[in-house]
Chains A and B, each alone.
Chain A
Amino acid sequence: MRQESIDEPVAVRADFQGGVVTPVAFRLRGREHRVVRVNARWVDRVPRHPHFYFSVTAESGDVYQLQLQGTDLVWWLDSVTLEG
């Protein structure tokens, strides 16, 4: 397993239903990656505004960590974990 830091703002299509946000797809460097599974979600409430984290599996099978910052509602792509 190899984790690579990306740390870039990304455009994300997300579902906001019943007070729960679920990322559906994100666009990285011009290419759309569809989310096939949300593996885990957690909230960090230590910063001034909460940060919402999502570990998602994309169609490629790679696992990405997305972050929605409560301050400005900007999505960030933190990292990708690759097999091998």
Chain B
Amino acid sequence: MAPQTGAGGEPTVLHVDIDAFFASIEQQRDPRLKGRPVVVGAGVIASCSYEARRFGLKAGMPLSEARRLCPQAVVIEGRAQVYRCFAEQIFARCREVSPAVETYLDEAYCDLGGTERLHGDLVEAARRLKRSILAATGLTVTCGLGPNRMLAKLIGKTVKPDGLARITAAGADDFMRDLPVEKVPGVGHAHARTLRSMNLRTAGDLRLLPVVALERLFGAPGRLLHERCRGRDTAVVSGREVPLSISRETSFHRDTADPREIEGMLEYLTGRACRTARELGVRPRTVAVRLRYADGESDERARTLPQPSDADPVVLALALDILGRLFTRRVALHHVGLVLSRFVRAGGEQGALFDEREAGRRAALYRAFDGVRSEFGHGVLVSGRALHLKGRLAEDEHGFVLRTPSLTK
């Protein structure tokens, strides 16, 4: 399906990006932090203020390095629940201007195709949205308007923070030609290294390669790069977000080798990840377990389920099996995580004929669990090994208070 076209015949996507999201909220909550370098994260930086970025700090950097580069930085562990509330306020305003909004943790894509008669000038509509978000939350956002998602996001990046920019289809060619290859979506460190070794430095240079050459170099993503370096992106704005993966991970409050605590945490994380999958109407094919040991070494292993499933016991059985094979070193664990990926739409997969009644009963049971949990909080129903966490971890209405709540999806 192609993106909707507006009255002018050009599809228009608005990309809304919340500036320095977590750090800006912390500065909002405590005005004494305004103008100071603020870092949010535990172990690594999840978000940092623009003042902190001037010292070279950036998301993903270990906190030890951040403290070395900027000793005066204020470090805050962060509260995912607070950030989610602010994001929801912002996304609610996006939904007032667009019928199709696709949301992520700190950004949203709004399809504005066909809304010109309603909004008039779309740049002015974006400006109004920025003002309305600022008035409601005190936060600034950067808006990019473009003929597709990729261009809307890329043009927004040129005017961060608190900016607004528009690129038209006619201007896309010039804009993309000079873009450094590593800025082209889909080009990571490894791809950029390969391309630079071939003296291909900009998206314009990349256009010199035929699609078959890109496919030979990078496999299937090569075809996407062939389109993207020309400013083409056919992905539509979907109102319902289907993520590439759902991960739930946390550090332990204290490094541990206690199998009951580790398995209990894995069961709890599995419950949360499966609930999210059910809410999104997707079932994972692949389950991965991530471990980080107290000495800094880490390991990850993934396996495929016989049938895609969003049922806690099915996913947990495989996760525990992976954990048993993966956790072999005699070193305490610092961090454990579960990642679900390769989703199929619930109901879209083939199941075994005689399992259908059982699957139906199980689905009804989990619908009931999810209903209770959304009414009273995830923590009201805790089962099996996760009971070992009771008393060890504090709880709030969202469940156990983890040391590292999922600040990123």
Q: Would you give the shortest CB distance from A33 to chain B, in whole angstroms?
A: 16
- Report, as a range, how many residues of chain A touch the other chain: 20 to 34
- A1 and B30 in contact (CB under 8 A), knowing A42-B89, A46-B374, A46-B398? yes
Cβ A48 vs Cβ B85 within 8 A: no
Give the residue among A42, A55, A61 with the most B Cβ atoms within 10 A.
Answer: A42
Q: Quick check: A39 and B74 within 8 Å, CB to CB?
A: no
CB distance from A41 to the nearest CB of B (A): 9
For chain B, residues 319 to 339, give those with C-beta under 8 angstroms from any C-beta of chain A.
Answer: none
Q: Which residues of B contact A18 (CB under 8 A)?
A: none
B33 pairs with A48, CB closer than 8 A: no
- Per-residue 0/1 for B7-49: is the Cβ within 8 Å of any A Cβ (1 yes, 0 no)? 0000000000000000001001111110000000000000000
B30–A42 CB distance below 8 A: no
Closest to A50 in B: B85
B86 at the interface (CB under 8 A from A): yes
Q: Is the CB of A57 within 8 A of B81?
A: no
Given the complex, which residues of B lie within 8 Å of A65, measured CB to CB? Answer: 29
Q: Does A81 contact B (CB under 8 A)?
A: yes
Smallest Cβ distance from A6 to chain B, in angstroms? 15
Report if A40 contacts B (CB, 8 A): yes
Cα A43 to Cα B74 in complex, Å, equals: 25
Interface residue? B376 (CB, 8 A): yes
CB of B74 within 8 A of CB of A37, answer: no
A72 within 8 A of B: no
From residue 54 to 75 of chain A, which have CB atoms closer than 8 A to chain B?
55, 57, 61, 63, 65
A48 to B88, CA, bound (A): 17
Interface of A is mostly: strand
Tell whether B70 is near chain A: CB-to-CB under 8 Å.
Answer: no
Given A1-B74, A1-B76, A53-B82, residue A46 in contact with residue B397 (CB < 8 A): yes
Determine whether A47 belongs to the interface, using a CB cutoff of 8 Å to chain B.
Answer: yes
How far is A40 from B139 in the complex, measured between Cα atoms in Å? 10
Q: Per DSSP, are chain B's interface residues mostly helix, strand or loop, or mixed?
A: helix
Q: Whole-angstrom distance between the alpha carbons of A83 and B33 in the complex?
A: 10
Q: Is the Cβ of A83 less than 8 Å from the Cβ of B32? A: yes
C-alpha gap A1/B78 in the complex (Å) = 13
Contacts of B25 in A (CB 8 A): 40
* B355 interfacial contact with A, CB 8 Å: no
B375 lies within 8 A of chain A by Cβ: yes
In the complex, what residue of chain B is closest to A51 when comparing beta carbons?
B397
Contacts of B88 in A (CB 8 A): 45
B138 within 8 A of A: yes
Identify the closest chain A residue to B36 (Cβ). Answer: A1
Q: Verify if A44 is at the interface (C-beta below 8 Å from B).
A: yes
Chain B minimum-CB-distance residue to A3:
B76
Q: What is the bound-complex CA distance between A81 and B88, given in angstroms?
A: 25
Q: Which of A1-49 contact B (CB under 8 A)?
A: 1, 37, 39-40, 42-48
Instruction: List residues of B whose CB falls within 8 A of some A CB.
Output: 25, 28-33, 74, 76, 81-82, 85-86, 88-89, 137-138, 374-377, 397-398
| Given A39-B30, A42-B89, A53-B85; 8 other pairs, CB 8 A cutoff | A1-B76, A39-B28, A44-B81, A46-B374, A46-B397, A46-B398, A57-B31, A83-B32
Q: Which 10 A-B pairs have the closest CB atoms?
A: A55-B29, A42-B85, A40-B28, A47-B397, A63-B30, A40-B29, A48-B375, A44-B85, A1-B74, A39-B31
